Structure 1
Amino acid sequence: MWRKKNAWLVLIGLAISIKIFSLFPDAVEKYYASGIYPVISKLQRILFGWLPFSVGDIFYGLVIIWLLYKLYHTTRRIVKRQTNKKYWLHALLQTAFVVVVVYVSFNLLWGLNYNRRGVAYQLGLKVERYSKNDLVQLMQTIVYRLHALDSPSRVNRQALARKRNLFDGAVSAYGQLAHNETKFTYSFQSVKPSLYSYLGNYLGYTGYYNPFSGEAQVNTTVPLFVQPFTTCHEIGHQLGYAKENEANFAGYLSAKSSQDALFRYSVYFDLYSYSRYYLYAQDSITAKQLDAQLPAGIKADHRVLREFVKKYRNPVEVIIDKLYGEYLKANEQPGGKLSYNEVVAWLVAYYKKFGTEAI
């Protein structure tokens, strides 16, 4: 009884301390994101990165099995009328204990990165509201890049169907970026195919980061031209860029630094879609004019992606999307799923500082 009480006191004390600490972004950036977290993440990658399978995925699978068992056990007791006030109080305390443990573990291992100053602060970018002209200028530059990359990106595209080439290519891209920006140095590789890739097609995810194992997982069953940017995005999470727009921007900076044309194509392909979402809402005519300027190969890839998404669309995906959007909102991303698209603001700020040739 005394041990349980002490455990509760320690956990609650840690949870309160984490919450208070998270209110000070400068402190989080200096002491956690740039101090404690890099050590934690490297240790995780050293421990699990060498394994050919995802430890985090196995952990998630075991958690789901445990939850299903608990649900079955509780349902059975209810049916047999074996529950009482004491049982439900004990169950409530157990659940609360698990929730607090997960909250503390999640934040100490990675989650506090949601409260850091972030990549715009590190690069000295002035991220602000942008105009339609800014957006059009950005998209014109992206269209220009896609024209240049359309043919080269198809020469040896199938080579990235081999997962090792894909993952090594992403690590190499970060290596190229780190020559000029050492803050993006990525050591001790830990990028793996998701054990639940096919399930991901129905749930609508292309990749995810596991904060409990430090592994980046990629859905390797989605169209090949999507995978390079997804891989770079997930490595961005490993480097401590928790918010989706920031992980997208880290993924962009690395993928565009790659010597592989398909990596560069992959990032500009996605960025065009993100930018188009906002332009179409303001000026659908201009958006369609830019669409018409895209090479035939890129239009074909867009059709392939649309058909892929359509093939796996289902009611469960809508629910998962909604839940994930709420998760993002609870973690300093009020835009929910649109947080991914918000990388556009970073891109505009980037070209305003370094010029459109830097895009």
Structure 2
Amino acid sequence: MCYTGITGIYFPFTGEANVNIAIPDLYIPCTVEHEMAHQRGFASEDEANFIAYLTSIKHPNIDFNYSGYILALNYTASALSKVDYNAYVDISAGISDSVRRDLKNESEFWQKYEGKINEISNEFNNSYLKANGVTEGTQSYGKMVDLLLTYYELYPYN
């Protein structure tokens, strides 16, 4: 699954969720929760990501909490860099060394698997999502940022 860039996949025809356990450990909790959200009927990628985030940060295990916060950091940082790169750079300067190390390790992990198979897989996933009514395709994963912003606007102290 690494060469395809897939961290997890849900098969709606069998109800089976699969998780790529070769990914860095800190991403496994959110990946499991993302796929479980699909199992429970949340088909959209943004909703599955948001549910993974929320269940992770509310989980009693600190490793799950960290996984959730890293998931949110990845998506919010990406979104911010697209709309205000200078703000992204300023905020990124405040990230701790240990978090930076984890993000660097993730990047290095996926670089080993970049190539034609990954490109084809991304194109296939994008087409699959669009064929199933997700007009944004793979960009829909990042729409969880909209859900995060709405959640914290409604529940600022959660």
Give the structure 2 partner of residue 348 of structure 1.
Answer: 149
Give the structure 2 partner of residue 314 of structure 1.
Answer: 115
Give the structure 1 partner of residue 81 of structure 2.
Answer: 280
- CA-to-aligned-CA distance 1:226-266 (integer Å, 9 cap, x gap): 11100010100011001101111111221111001111111
Q: Quick one: distance in 2 between partners of 1:278 and 1:317?
A: 22
Q: Which structure shows the higher helix fraction?
A: 1
Deviation at 1:205, TM superposition (A): 0.2
Query: What percent of counterpart residues are identical?
Result: 34
- The one-letter amino acid of 2:46's match is N
- The one-letter amino acid of 1:258's match is H
Indicate the SS of the match to 1:312: coil
The answer to whether 1:325 aligns with 2:126 is yes
Give the structure 2 partner of residue 243 of structure 1.
Answer: 44
- CA-to-aligned-CA distance 1:69-108 (integer Å, 9 cap, x gap): xxxxxxxxxxxxxxxxxxxxxxxxxxxxxxxxxxxxxxxx
The answer to whether 1:334 aligns with 2:135 is yes
Give the structure 2 partner of residue 227 of structure 1.
Answer: 28
Q: Quick one: distance in 2 between partners of 1:212 and 1:323?
A: 18
- The one-letter amino acid of 1:244's match is E
- The answer (yes or no) to whether the contact 2:57–2:64 under 8 Å persists in 1 is yes
TM-score using structure 2 length:
0.96
Q: Quick one: distance in 2 between partners of 1:289 and 1:340?
A: 25
Among 188, 205, 210, the alignment partner of 2:11 is 210
Structure exhibiting the larger radius of gyration computed from Cα positions: 1
Indicate the SS of the match to 2:95: coil
Gaps (5+ residues) in structure 2? none
Indicate the SS of the match to 1:208: strand
Question: Higher relative contact order at CA 8 Å, sep ≥6: structure 1 or structure 2?
Answer: 2
Alignment of 1:148-297 (within 5 A): 200-297=1-98
4+ residue runs over 4 A deviation:
none
- The one-letter amino acid of 2:21's match is T
- The one-letter amino acid of 2:59's match is S
Gaps (5+ residues) in structure 1? 1-199
Indicate the SS of the match to 1:341: helix
Give the structure 2 partner of residue 303 of structure 1.
Answer: 104
Deviation at 1:332, TM superposition (A): 2.4
Q: Quick one: distance in 1 between partners of 2:153 and 2:131?
A: 31
